[in-house]
């Protein structure tokens, strides 16, 4: 095998890890950055997106439409959850964690009761291609492009739309924004829906690559946490660079010692980073800038 195929293999693994980290984390990061709230039911929103995607594909819809449906349904559930629970807990961030954990328990066990212990999956589309001695899944490349696309779309949303400007104003000075007539409650609702929708999108995108079980959210949630903890409160200055750094750690550790060590590597990286940069990468970047 020549150098080029080695390089390609490394890049492919990096891209795969990056996509997984960014896609699982950005929904969590949007909500955290906006409201300082960690949504422990994040994994269950991902599960919701995956299940709805699979169900619609089984019903005959093409996969992209299925993923879109999954995203929208998750966002809708997000609105309901925000109205029913989160809204009442804005002053108590620790209680929000606890309450969303309760929701996660309800969602996991409720799905188990209603849908059963597994759901028929969706085949991975596009097949594979060969580089050197190894074959690679084309869909993984699609996922990487999707991650980049999501980051770009979020950048556009927060910088170029009226919602984005109001949302950023609300993050920085909530009282001022409220005084200026911004409906901060609506902004919070929409942000939560946006985060839930992004989780649903991650679920929909990964639905064709994994077995669908009620506890599948747990597969994503650790990576999502780790990325948000390292990244800090800002999606662009935090989640994206954190995703890149952690993807290197994960792909190197995985190809060296296997998947488990990839995850252990992530965890160790987190614990060391929080010791050095308590506010995450974005906190560090922002402190240097202002």
Partner 1 sequence: MSLLELRKLNKHFGGLHVTNSVDLTLQAGEIHCLIGPNGAGKSTLFRLILGEHHPGSGDILFAGEDITALKSFARIHRGLSVKFQVPGVFRGLSVRQNLEIALQSRHRGTELEAEIGRLLHFLGLESEHTQIAGNLSHGQKQWLEIGMAVSLKPRLLLLDEPTAGMSPEETHLTGEMVQRLNADGMTVLAIEHDMAFVRQVAHRVTVLHLGQVFAQGSIDEIVADERVAAIYLGQAHA
Partner 2 sequence: MTGLLAMFRRLEGPQTVGRGPAFWALFALVLAAALAYPLFSDGYTVGNTVYFFVWVFIALSLCLIWGYGGSLSFGQTAFFGIAGYGYGVLTINFGSAYGFTLLALVIAVAIAALFAVLLGYFMFFGRIAGVFLGIVTLAVTLMLERFMAQTAGPEWRIGAARLNGFNGMSAMPPLTIPWPGEPIVLFADIGLYYLVLGLLVLVYLALRILMNSSFGNVIVAIRENPERAEMLGYDIRKYQLITFVIGAALAGLSGVLYTVWGQYITPSSMGMTAAALPLIWVAVGGRSDLTSTVIGTLVVLAAFQALTIYGSQYALVFMGVLLVLTVLIAPNGLVLGAMNWLGRIAARFTQRAG
Q: What is the Cα–Cα distance from 47 to 224, expressed in whole angstroms?
A: 14
Closer of 56 and 282 to partner 1 (Cβ): 282
178, interface contact from partner 2, partner 1, none, CB < 5-8 Å by kind: none
The pair of structure tokens assigned to 101 is 């954990």
- Shortest gap between Cβ of 237 and partner 1 (angstroms)? 14
- H helices of the chain, in order, are 3-35, 42-58, 63-84, 93-115, 138-160, 162-172, 174-179, 184-206, 217-231, 240-257, 259-276, 280-289
If the CB atoms of residues 10 and 218 are measured against partner 2, the closer one turns out to be 218
Nearer to partner 1, 164 or 283 (CB): 283
**Helices 184-206, 162-172: inter-axial angle, 10-degree rounding:** 110
Q: Quick one: CA dihedral 290, 224, 27, 33, positive or negative?
A: negative
Backbone angles phi, psi at 137, to 5 degrees: -80, 130
Among 275, 288, 289, 290, binds partner 2 (CB under 8 A): 275
* Partner in contact with 287, chosen from partner 2, partner 1, none, beta carbon below 5 to 8 Å by kind: partner 1
Q: At closest approach, how far in Å is the CB of 36 from partner 2?
A: 7
Which contiguous run of DSSP H or E holds residue 90? none
| Residue 14 binding: pick among partner 1, partner 2, none (C-beta 5-8 Å cut-off by kind) | none
Helix, strand or coil, per DSSP, at residue 63 = helix
Residue nearer to partner 1 on the CB measure, 88 or 287: 287
Q: Are 27 and 42 in contact (CB under 8 A)?
A: yes
Question: Which residue, 214 or 238, has its beta carbon nearer to partner 1?
Answer: 238
**Using CA atoms, how far apart are residues 35 and 171, in angstroms rounded to an integer?**
7
Contact 21, 229 (CB under 8 A): no
Least separation, in Å, of the C-beta of 290 and partner 1?
Answer: 5
Measure CA of the first residue to CA of the last residue in the chain; give whole Å.
Answer: 49
Interface residue with partner 2, options 79, 85, 148, 244 (CB under 8 A)? 85
Applying CB under 8 A, does 287 fall inside the site for partner 2?
A: no
- Residue 290 binding: pick among partner 2, partner 1, none (C-beta 5-8 Å cut-off by kind): partner 1
Which tokens is 57 given? 């594909």
Q: How far apart are CA 79 and CA 200, in angstroms?
A: 13
Residue window 105-124: x/- pattern of binding to partner 2, with contact defined by CB under 8 A: xx-xxx-xx-----------
Would you say 228 or 249 has its CB closer to partner 2? Answer: 228
Could you tell me if 201 and 28 are in contact, meaning their C-beta atoms sit under 8 angstroms apart? no
Among 95, 128, 165, 183, binds partner 2 (CB under 8 A): 95
In the complex, the residues that contact partner 2 under the rule CB under 8 A are 32, 36-38, 40, 85, 88-89, 92-95, 97-99, 101-106, 108-110, 112-113, 215, 218, 221-222, 225-226, 228-229, 260, 263-264, 267, 270-272, 274-276, 278
């Amino acid at each position: 095998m020549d150098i080029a195929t080695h390089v390609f293999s490394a890049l492919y693994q990096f891209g795969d890890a990056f996509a997984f980290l960014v896609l699982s984390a950005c929904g969590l990061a949007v909500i955290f950055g906006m409201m300082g709230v960690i949504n422990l039911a994040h994994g269950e929103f991902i599960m919701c997106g995956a299940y709805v995607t699979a169900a619609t594909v089984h019903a005959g819809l093409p996969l992209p439409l299925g993923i879109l449906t999954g995203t929208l349904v998750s966002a809708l559930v997000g609105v309901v959850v925000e109205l029913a629970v989160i809204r009442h807990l804005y002053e108590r961030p620790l209680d929000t964690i606890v309450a969303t954990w309760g929701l996660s328990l309800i969602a996991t066990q409720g799905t188990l009761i209603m849908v059963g212990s597994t759901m028929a999956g969706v085949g991975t589309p596009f097949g594979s291609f060969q580089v050197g001695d190894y074959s690679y899944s084309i869909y993984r490349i699609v996922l990487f492009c999707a991650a980049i696309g999501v980051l770009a779309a979020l950048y556009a949303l927060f910088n170029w739309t009226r919602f984005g400007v109001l949302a950023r104003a609300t993050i920085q000075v909530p009282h001022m924004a409220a005084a200026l007539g911004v409906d901060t409650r609506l902004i919070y609702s929409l942000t939560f829906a946006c985060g839930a929708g992004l989780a649903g999108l991650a679920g929909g995108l990964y639905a064709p690559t994994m077995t669908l079980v009620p506890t599948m959210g747990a597969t994503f949630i650790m990576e999502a946490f780790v990325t948000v903890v390292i990244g800090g409160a800002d999606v662009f200055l935090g989640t994206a660079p954190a995703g890149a750094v952690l993807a290197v750690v994960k792909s190197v550790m995985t190809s060296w010692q296997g998947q488990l060590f990839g995850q252990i590597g992530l965890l160790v990286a987190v614990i060391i980073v929080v010791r050095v940069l308590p506010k995450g990468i974005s906190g560090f970047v922002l402190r240097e800038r202002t």
